[in-house]
């Protein structure tokens, strides 16, 4: 990288400090500038480096005084023509005399009379406070107020707001939909599954006033509700279970987050708490316990920062980190605030009042945050494990190995760790209990406390990999998994967040040296993980040596094995692993001019607010990374965006489009709300309800607007072609996962089981590339689509054809395209044919009479019996083709793929 | 984009959008009006086009410039000596020793362009080519570099250039996808996301044509299930007309109905495309179909020509897999690896250029050759591990790509690297510039080919790119 090269060369540019006081030099300097420097700048530099061009090259302007030492050094380097990558002017080297003049001028401190000139100075960075204050008038930054619903006949306030606007336009609203259509609509909306026949019958039989409420309560209480709404949320956090990039390695434990979401939605976790846990779940003083009491829920949400792409061979650690943080801020800004904060990475936001300074004050928080593979056992589970361990035979527990020998180091060796005795505190972070509190007699020993069943890990400090070889002296159980990063026993080198190299025991008795070449890791930010996630094994690490030598050092004398284990049948309770965030080395970062990590401006103190919302002069971060304060500010009821953005998302999923049709962008380039008072009424009521998402559903799906038929009144259609006023209910195509899940549901092949590790996706012969996984079953074991592993580089083609979002950034509104490849897929895809066959077989075996069989299939697929003409046509078709063909045709019907 | 314009777009009638959004498989692709940020209207062309189609010969792995089209005698003179400057960080921690090219260069054609003995057949075509020796890209490792050359961004998830072009121009093909990727067993690092439609509608994504009898997924029913397809389609059509009565006249559903008809026609179009029986023996020989070494890439090139004839906008031919070597990525044994790669592609590429020319297709077909980056002039020596014989590392700072046809100059060499071939020093052409130039030749102003996403108008060239006017014919 050009910048990287430049950064390394700077120190060699020697600058002579000005020897005289600035006052003495002022006149002389000005004269030198006007006589020699300015003409050259105008003639040779301004064409690329001035306000004349929209985007000055390299972010450098020479028509204003040089900003800082940094740009002065850079200028000198460039004109010296010594760096093959930075030679300026590009059209030819300046005369030596001119270069000497510029050098002399810079040595004088670059005196610049232009600094006193009237006119705008450089606006490279920093905010214009006045404009930010003015921008506070924009609707989205105004506090939420709860408007009084307009007068009207409707009981539901939502209808009063909508009816008022429809009344103004004198539109005729569509008639209410029939009960079957409504139930199919609300079932698909709340659970992502068509209504089961029994549920349809029960609803139709319920003639009470509360029939609709009863149906909605049943759906909200269904565990499938959480599966449906967790998936919507996963679109916002670009959920993926692999790193993408070249080899698409696994993100361990990512699925735990999916289960966290399902549980959270099912339990109607107050939304402000959900937000807090996403930003700082690992830091909350009172983390939330799982319902079984065994593990902590809150930290799991903080893993959501880390679902982005991870480079397996980053060339530049600093840039890689800056890119990761940018993606994290982009997602957090869009998902929670509906703001494109990341636009302010390179320049003050062009449309919204977000100065670059706000961006870097928040970026500092995430630069102080790291990913951690850890154990999230609850305090009671920790105690249970301790109590079980107390029952392990004393001969195992208290047995001490002979002390480890000293390493014989060579000239090129660096001893990274030799494990003494005492405590890990200050050198290694522990997770779980396998490694105890500290090393014993020179070993980190996951069987130290005396049982193979214990799990845990050690994580080292971060460092730049200095040499080409890593040698680890270790002993232990050979892990079984074939996929490297999933091996349960390993020493892993993590380079720039990528689990890059794995050193594992061969399983032979006694110690051995295991080596890895740091070809791609050298020079990058690394740390070691020593991991034992096996319930039936252990690892013992003696030394870690980083070396210039390919061969490991000589073997120090030591006992054959420091482990004595006799399994004695004491069951140790299990631990739960998760990917979480953690604070580390909290620090402020410098502003990146034009987004470049090689062109740094002033340090920006970490802050947890946007000036446009809170005003200037808010307190800065006081403790740790600042995520705790950031979480609190995001989740505060007075934040004008948090509640508005969320109620709009829920609205979008019920009515096809948000009240703000750009759900991830409430800024000036987004759209204005179609019903601002309704939006605010919902937001205020949402906060009043204790941030209950289920309450939002009740208000929305029990409204008259939600019940309307999708058949439009022609005049209303002409007056409101985008249906912004909702005089009718919009026809919507089902999402990819709902189409697949509906097929499983009607075919009777759906496995209703919740939770657990993901099922591998089916990989067809048309999917290829590096990191190609072993294919999972064609039908995904009948699991709902949310349980199909999200492999970044191997997304399921059927999902992609139906606009499944790429997991790269927040997607609050998926596309909904209609293309011939969808028809081809529905006609020819193996999975669709398989499900059609299963459906036909099942219907045939349960219902021998063809007419009743057909009726049953219609009800399963469309929640209605066939009309006469359909019955005639379908039975005739099944006769001349087959019932499987008929089932297949019904799955291809637009009525199956759309909801009205 | 101003929000006013967003509104204007929203107010276009559904039917109007339907007509304007013709794309993808050439037929009706209706884009949701409800998706908020993803409205679309065909935004091109902006001026008269020189090229109608692009064939991108992607040399996955990064061919070496100083071993192919950019001779550096100084490397031979200083073979084994250290470079006189400190080279930038590369992917591997390699030596600073100069490595002279093991290949011999000669001048060719009227233009006298230099080509190494790796490409004897392509060398015969230099008078139809513009060789750009001053390419610059942003990334030193494969995956980011592959995303970058394809989408103008080093990150996953941006639309590939084939998607942008089809979004901009629509497809001229009735029954075939507008963006086709031909492969012979090798998908580049970064995977299918190199051919992604990113935030553009799914219809613009590249369709992978695999080698073999069933090139496209789900094109035809599995064995033994194709009988009765016509009858089934007619029955589905009846059901769907009933749905229109039931749901109201919804244009998405009307589009769905038409798509089933199109799907049926496509099932016939693909076998027709792949049926070479109308190609003469001479043509097959021209592409090297008679030689097992060149057969795979020759087939890709011949299909590419046939796709151009059928109006497909963007065709990408991927390098074939070769046993024992890793694409063009010769960290080790560049002499052997580049020789095998060149032999596998040289004759087919020359065949394609000659065939396009003789059929009068070269004038409006732009052929682009190149990899995601070039290679270093300094050597990567055997290290007891990955490298067994001397090779070269990655180099995005100066490398060669070439173009032919479609409105670029004939017999032109543009730009230069320094005397070691490390850095582009004269008339630098950044990858963004190449993208801008390609779009220009297709009649598109790269600054106006935009799609509103994530709060701003996105472009293939981001906020960069200049049309390289010096290479326009």
HEC string for B252-296: HHHHHHHHHHHHHHHHHHHHHHHCHHHCCHHHHHHCCCCCHHHHH
Q: In whole angstroms, what is the distance from residue B364 CA to residue B347 CA?
A: 22
User: Which residue blocks in A597-735 are alpha helix, DSSP H?
Assistant: 611-614, 627-634, 642-655, 676-688, 693-701, 704-707, 714-719
Question: What is the dihedral angle through the alpha carbons of A459, A465, A468, A469, rounded to the nearest 10 degrees?
Answer: -20
Q: Are A615 and A294 in contact (CB under 8 A)?
A: no
Q: Does A877 touch chain B (CB under 8 A)?
A: yes
For residue B265, the model assigns a pLDDT of 83
pLDDT digits (tens, 9 = 90+) for A558-580: 566 667 666 667 889 999 999 99
Distances (CA, A) of A254 to A326, A795, A797, A852: 21, 16, 22, 45
For residue A92, the model assigns a pLDDT of 73
CA distance B10 to chain A (A): 7
SS3 A502: strand
pLDDT digits (tens, 9 = 90+) for A782-802: 999 999 999 998 999 899 888
Nearest to A309 among B14, B28, B156 (CB): B156
CA distance A818 to chain B (A): 5
Tell me the chain A residues in contact with residue B3 when contact means C-beta distances shorter than 8 Å.
Answer: 668-672
Residue of B36, B62, B382 to mutate when probing chain A, most A C-beta within 10 A: B36
Q: In whole angstroms, what is the distance from residue B119 CA to residue B105 CA?
A: 10
Q: Are B146 and B440 in contact (CB under 8 A)?
A: no
CB contact under 8 A, A1 and B89: yes
Tell me the chain B residues in contact with residue A793 when contact means C-beta distances shorter than 8 Å.
Answer: 190-193
Q: In whole angstroms, what is the distance from residue A887 CA to residue A841 CA?
A: 10
End-to-end CA distance of chain A: 54
For residue B20, the model assigns a pLDDT of 34
Q: In whole angstroms, what is the distance from residue A102 CA to residue A95 CA?
A: 11
CB contact under 8 A, B35 and A814: yes
- Within 13 Å, how many C-alpha atoms sit on residue A396's CB side? 21
CB contact under 8 A, B236 and A803: no
Nearest to B32 among A668, A815, A833 (CB): A815
Nearest to A721 among B6, B13, B385 (CB): B13
Q: Does A809 touch chain B (CB under 8 A)?
A: yes
CA distance A556 to chain B (A): 26
Nearest to B203 among A817, A825, A827 (CB): A817
Q: Residues 6 or more apart from A800 whose CB is under 8 A from it? A: A736, B202, B205
Farthest-apart Cα atoms in chain B, separation: 81
pLDDT values of chain B reduced to their tens digit, one per residue, 473 residues: 333 333 333 333 333 333 333 333 333 333 333 233 333 345 678 899 999 999 999 999 999 999 999 999 999 999 999 999 888 877 777 888 999 999 999 999 999 999 999 999 999 999 999 999 999 999 988 888 999 999 999 888 899 999 999 999 987 887 888 999 998 888 898 888 899 888 887 778 888 888 877 788 888 887 777 778 889 999 999 999 999 888 887 777 887 888 888 888 888 888 899 999 999 999 999 999 999 999 999 999 999 999 999 999 999 999 998 888 889 999 999 999 999 999 999 999 999 999 999 999 999 999 999 999 999 999 998 876 678 899 999 999 999 999 999 999 999 999 999 999 999 999 999 999 999 999 999 999 999 999 887 777 899 999 899 999 999 99
SS3 labels along A806-857: CCCCCCCCCCCCECHHHHHHHHHCHHHHHHHHHHHHHHHHHCCCHHHHHHHH
CA distance A5 to chain B (A): 6
pLDDT digits (tens, 9 = 90+) for A478-492: 988 767 788 999 999
Q: How much of chain A, in percent, has pLDDT values that exceed 90?
A: 59
Q: Are B417 and B398 in contact (CB under 8 A)?
A: yes
CB contact under 8 A, B236 and A893: yes
- Both tokens of A464, joined, read 């730049």
Q: Are B199 and B38 in contact (CB under 8 A)?
A: yes
pLDDT digits (tens, 9 = 90+) for A279-318: 999 999 999 999 999 999 999 999 999 999 998 877 788 8
Question: What band does A140 get if pLDDT is binned at 50, 70 and 90?
Answer: very high
Nearest to A712 among B1, B248, B262 (CB): B248
Among all residues of chain B, which has the CA nearest to that of A343? B455
Q: How much of chain A, in percent, has pLDDT values that exceed 70?
A: 92
CB contact under 8 A, A5 and B89: yes
Residue of B74, B202, B259, B418 to mutate when probing chain A, most A C-beta within 10 A: B202
Q: Does A711 touch chain B (CB under 8 A)?
A: yes
Cα-to-chain-centroid distance, residue A616: 29
Q: Is the pLDDT of residue A609 over 80?
A: no
Phi, psi of B402 (to 5 degrees): -135, 160
Tell me the chain B residues in contact with residue A803 when contact means C-beta distances shorter than 8 Å.
Answer: 201-202
Nearest to B236 among A309, A730, A889 (CB): A889
Element (H, E) at A544: strand A539-547
| Nearest Cα residue to A300 out of A228, A373, A366 | A373
For residue A116, the model assigns a pLDDT of 53
Length of chain A counted residue by residue: 900
Q: Are A501 and A467 in contact (CB under 8 A)?
A: no
Q: Is the pLDDT of residue A1 over 50?
A: no
CA distance A816 to chain B (A): 5
Residue of B85, B220, B235 to mutate when probing chain A, most A C-beta within 10 A: B235
CA distance B164 to chain A (A): 16
Nearest to B454 among A340, A730, A821 (CB): A340
Question: What band does A115 get if pLDDT is binned at 50, 70 and 90?
Answer: low
Q: How many CB pairs under 8 A join A and B?
A: 308
The pTM is what? 0.81
């Amino acid at each position: 990288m050009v910048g990287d090269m430049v950064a390394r060369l700077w120190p060699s540019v020697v600058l002579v400090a000005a020897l005289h006081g600035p006052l003495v030099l002022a006149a002389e300097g000005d004269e030198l500038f006007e006589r020699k420097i300015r003409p050259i700048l105008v003639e040779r530099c301004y064409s690329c480096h001035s306000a004349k061009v929209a985007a000055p090259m390299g972010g450098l302007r020479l028509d204003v005084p040089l900003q800082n030492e940094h740009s002065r050094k850079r200028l000198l380097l460039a004109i010296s023509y010594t760096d093959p990558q930075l030679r300026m002017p590009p059209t030819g080297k300046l005369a030596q005399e001119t270069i000497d003049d510029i050098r002399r001028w810079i040595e004088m401190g670059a005196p610049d009379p232009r600094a006193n000139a009237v006119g705008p100075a450089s606006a490279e960075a920093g905010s214009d406070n006045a404009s930010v204050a003015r921008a506070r008038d924009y609707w989205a930054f105004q506090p939420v107020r709860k408007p009084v619903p307009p007068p009207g006949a409707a009981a539901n306030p939502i209808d009063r707001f909508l009816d008022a606007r429809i009344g103004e336009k004198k539109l005729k609203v569509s008639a209410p939909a029939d009960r079957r259509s409504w139930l199919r609509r609300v079932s698909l909306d709340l659970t992502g599954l068509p209504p089961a026949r029994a549920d349809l019958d029960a609803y139709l039989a319920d003639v009470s006033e509360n029939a609709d409420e009863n149906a909605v309560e049943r759906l909200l209480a269904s565990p499938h509700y959480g599966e449906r709404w967790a998936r919507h949320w996963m679109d916002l956090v670009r959920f993926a279970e692999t790193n993408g990039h070249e080899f698409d390695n696994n993100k361990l434990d990512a699925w735990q987050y999916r289960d966290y979401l399902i549980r959270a939605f099912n339990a109607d976790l107050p939304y402000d708490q959900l937000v807090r846990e996403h930003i700082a779940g690992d830091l909350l003083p009172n983390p939330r316990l799982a319902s079984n009491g065994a593990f902590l829920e809150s930290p799991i949400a903080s893993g959501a920062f880390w679902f982005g792409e991870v480079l397996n061979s980053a060339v530049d650690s600093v840039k890689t980190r800056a890119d990761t943080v940018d993606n994290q801020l982009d997602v957090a800004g869009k998902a929670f605030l509906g703001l494109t904060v990341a636009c302010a990475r390179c320049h003050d936001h062009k449309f919204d009042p977000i100065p670059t300074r706000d961006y870097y004050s928040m970026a500092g928080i995430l630069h102080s945050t790291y990913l951690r593979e850890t154990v999230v056992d609850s305090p009671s589970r920790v105690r249970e494990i301790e109590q079980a361990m107390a029952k392990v035979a004393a001969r195992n527990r208290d047995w001490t190995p002979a002390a480890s020998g000293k390493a014989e180091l060579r000239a090129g060796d660096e001893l990274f760790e030799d494990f003494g005795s005492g405590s890990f505190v200050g050198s290694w972070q522990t997770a779980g209990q396998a490694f105890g509190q500290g090393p014993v007699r020179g070993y980190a020993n996951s069987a130290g406390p005396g049982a193979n069943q214990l799990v845990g890990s050690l994580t080292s400090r971060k460092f730049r990999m200095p040499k080409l070889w890593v040698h680890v002296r270790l002993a232990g159980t050979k892990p079984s998994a074939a996929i490297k990063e999933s091996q349960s026993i390993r020493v892993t080198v993590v380079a720039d967040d990528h689990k890059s190299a794995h050193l594992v025991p061969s399983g032979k008795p006694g110690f051995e040296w295991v080596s890895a070449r740091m070809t791609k890791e050298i020079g990058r930010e690394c740390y070691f993980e020593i991991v034992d996630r096996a319930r039936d094994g252990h690892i013992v690490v003696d030394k870690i040596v980083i070396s210039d030598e390919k061969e490991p050092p000589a073997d120090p004398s030591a006992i054959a094995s420091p482990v004595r284990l006799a399994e004695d049948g004491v069951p140790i309770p299990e631990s739960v692993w998760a990917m979480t965030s953690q604070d580390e080395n909290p620090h402020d970062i410098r502003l990146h001019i034009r987004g470049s990590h090689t062109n740094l401006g002033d340090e920006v103190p970490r802050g947890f607010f946007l000036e446009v919302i809170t005003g200037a002069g808010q307190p800065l971060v006081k403790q740790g990374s600042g995520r705790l304060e950031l979480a609190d500010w995001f989740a505060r009821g007075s934040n004008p965006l948090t509640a508005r953005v969320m109620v709009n998302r829920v609205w979008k999923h019920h009515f096809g489009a948000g009240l703000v049709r750009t759900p991830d962008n409430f800024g000036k380039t987004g759209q204005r709300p179609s019903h601002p008072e309704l939006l605010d009424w919902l937001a205020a009521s949402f906060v009043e309800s204790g941030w209950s998402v289920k309450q939002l559903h009740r208000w929305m799906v029990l409204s008259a607007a939600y019940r309307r038929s999708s058949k439009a009144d022609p005049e209303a259609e002409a007056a409101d072609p985008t249906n912004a006023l909702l005089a009718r209910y919009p026809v919507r195509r089902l999402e990819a996962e709902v189409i697949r899940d509906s097929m499983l549901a009607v075919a009777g092949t759906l496995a209703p089981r919740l939770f657990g590790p993901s099922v591998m996706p089916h990989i067809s012969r048309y999917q290829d590339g590096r990191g190609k996984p072993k294919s999972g079953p064609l039908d995904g074991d009948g699991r709902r689509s949310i349980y199909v592993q999200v492999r970044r580089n191997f997304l399921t083609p059927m999902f992609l054809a139906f606009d499944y979002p790429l997991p790269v950034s927040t997607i609050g509104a998926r596309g909904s395209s209609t293309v011939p490849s969808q028809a081809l897929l529905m006609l020819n895809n193996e999975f669709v044919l398989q499900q059609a066959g299963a459906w036909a077989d099942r219907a045939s075996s349960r219902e021998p009479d063809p007419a009743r069989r057909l009726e049953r299939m219609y009800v399963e697929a469309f929640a209605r019996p066939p009309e006469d003409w359909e019955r005639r046509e379908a039975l005739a078709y099944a006769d001349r083709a087959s019932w499987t063909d008929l089932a297949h045709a019904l799955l291809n019907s637009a009525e199956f793929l759309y909801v009205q | 984009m101003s929000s006013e314009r967003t509104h204007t777009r929203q107010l276009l009638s559904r039917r109007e959008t339907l007509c304007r959004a013709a794309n993808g498989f050439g037929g009706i692709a209706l884009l949701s009006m409800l998706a908020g940020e993803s409205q679309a209207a065909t935004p091109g062309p902006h001026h008269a086009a020189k090229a109608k189609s692009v064939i991108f010969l992607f040399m996955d792995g990064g061919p070496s410039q100083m071993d192919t089209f950019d001779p550096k005698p100084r490397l031979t003179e200083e073979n084994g000596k250290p470079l006189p400057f400190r080279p930038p960080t590369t992917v591997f921690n390699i030596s600073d020793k100069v490595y002279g090219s093991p290949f011999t260069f000669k001048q060719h054609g009227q233009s006298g362009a230099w080509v190494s003995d790796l490409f004897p057949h392509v060398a015969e075509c230099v008078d139809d080519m513009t060789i750009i020796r001053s390419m610059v890209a942003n990334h030193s490792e494969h995956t980011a570099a592959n995303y970058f050359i394809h989408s103008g961004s080093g990150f996953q998830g941006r639309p590939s250039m084939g998607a942008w072009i089809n979004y901009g121009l629509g497809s001229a093909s009735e029954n075939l996808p507008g963006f086709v990727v031909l492969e012979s067993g090798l998908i580049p690092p970064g995977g299918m996301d190199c051919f992604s439609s990113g935030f553009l509608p799914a219809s613009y994504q590249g369709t992978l044509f695999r080698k073999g009898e069933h090139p496209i997924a789900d094109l035809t029913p599995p064995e033994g299930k194709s009988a009765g397809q016509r009858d089934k389609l007619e029955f589905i059509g009846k059901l769907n007309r009933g749905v229109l009565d039931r749901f109201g006249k919804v244009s998405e559903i009307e589009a769905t109905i038409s798509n089933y008809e199109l799907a049926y026609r496509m099932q016939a179009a693909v076998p027709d495309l792949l049926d070479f029986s109308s190609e003469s023996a001479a043509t097959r020989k021209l592409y090297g179909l008679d030689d097992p070494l060149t057969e795979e890439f020759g087939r890709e090139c011949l299909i590419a020509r046939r796709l151009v004839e059928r109006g497909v906008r963007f065709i990408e031919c991927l390098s074939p897999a070769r046993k024992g070597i890793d694409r063009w990525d010769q960290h080790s044994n560049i002499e052997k690896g580049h020789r095998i790669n060149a032999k596998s592609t040289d004759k087919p590429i020359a065949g394609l250029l000659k065939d396009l020319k003789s059929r009068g297709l070269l004038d409006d077909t732009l052929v682009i050759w190149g990899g995601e980056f070039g290679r270093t002039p300094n050597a990567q020596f055997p290290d007891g591990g990955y490298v067994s014989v001397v090779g070269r590392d990655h180099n995005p700072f100066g490398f060669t790509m070439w173009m032919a046809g479609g409105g670029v100059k004939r017999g032109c060499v543009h730009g230069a690297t320094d005397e070691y071939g490390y850095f582009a020093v004269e008339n630098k052409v950044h990858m963004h510039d190449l993208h801008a130039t390609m779009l220009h030749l297709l009649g598109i102003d790269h600054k106006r080919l935009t799609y509103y996403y994530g709060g701003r108008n996105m472009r293939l060239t981001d906020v960069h790119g200049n049309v390289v006017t010096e290479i326009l014919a």
